[in-house]
Amino acid sequence: MIKGIIFDFDGLIFDTETHQYHILQEMFSEHGSELPLALWQNEVGTDSGFSPFHYMEEQIGKQVEHALLEKQYEEKFLSTLAQEKARDGVEDYLRMAQEMELKIGLASSSSYRWVSGHLKKLGLFDYFQCIRTSDHVEKVKPDPALYIQAAQCLDLAPENCLVFEDSAHGATAAKRAGMGCVIVPNKITSTMDFCEVEHRLDSMADMPLTELLEYVASVKINR
């Protein structure tokens, strides 16, 4: 029985990932290069230490001013995000979960400062009873530690948690933690090769949370 839901953040609640890739791609184009989507997808939902501007140098065969490019990227990225809202259906799910008295958590490979700051700007911070981020673990997704810690924080067994994810690394982490998982990919993650999950949605606006939970329960029974 599902007693709690745990959300990812980047790309799922707030689509930072699509803007991030498009901005980087524009910058690569300005330098006569390209950042392949398949390569960038490997970095989504985790932290491998990949440096896009070192990759740019390899492609164009000359050095670039990293500090300048990083400053330009950050300015464009934050300016774009300032105009963005939560993805469709997200707040409806949070509100419904609260009404159903489900416990609500969040597990993100990003930092607590990044996640909490944006949640507050979106007006969603107070929905979450527990937030676990890269500040709380040694290894981020696809390692299951973030989801295991989130479940412990909510005082729930893994099998009583349902995770919402947008990336392959995140879905893998959820399944390794012993939890059910529903994926809601964005434009950047939609072509990823996901592990087996309970369900896939294009948007949370496509199915009410109550209906989704009934479906997930039936899937588990049928298995």
Q: Residue 70 sits in which domain range?
A: 16-81
CATH of the domain at 130: 3.40.50.1000
Percent of the chain with pLDDT over 90: 86
CB of 119 closer than 8 Å to CB of 90: no
**Do residues 10 and 26 both lie within one domain?**
no
My answer on whether 43 and 151 are in the same domain is no
User: Does one domain contain both 67 and 102?
Assistant: no
- Tens digit of pLDDT for each residue in 163-210? 999 999 999 999 999 999 999 999 999 999 999 999 999 999 999 999
pLDDT of res. 221: 55
pLDDT score for 223: 54
Per DSSP, the residues of 171-220 read HHHHHHTT-EEEE---TTTTTS-----SEE-S-GGGS-HHHHHHHHHHHH
Please count the CA atoms within 13 angstroms of the CA of 151 that sit on its side-chain side.
21
> Checking phi first, is residue 38 left (phi over 0); if not, alpha (psi -120 to 50) or beta?
alpha
pLDDT tens per residue, range 28-85: 999 999 999 988 888 887 877 788 999 999 989 999 999 999 999 999 999 999 989 9
77 and 126 assigned to the same domain: no
Pair (22, 115) in one structural domain: no
Catalytic residue ranges: 8, 10
pTM: 0.91
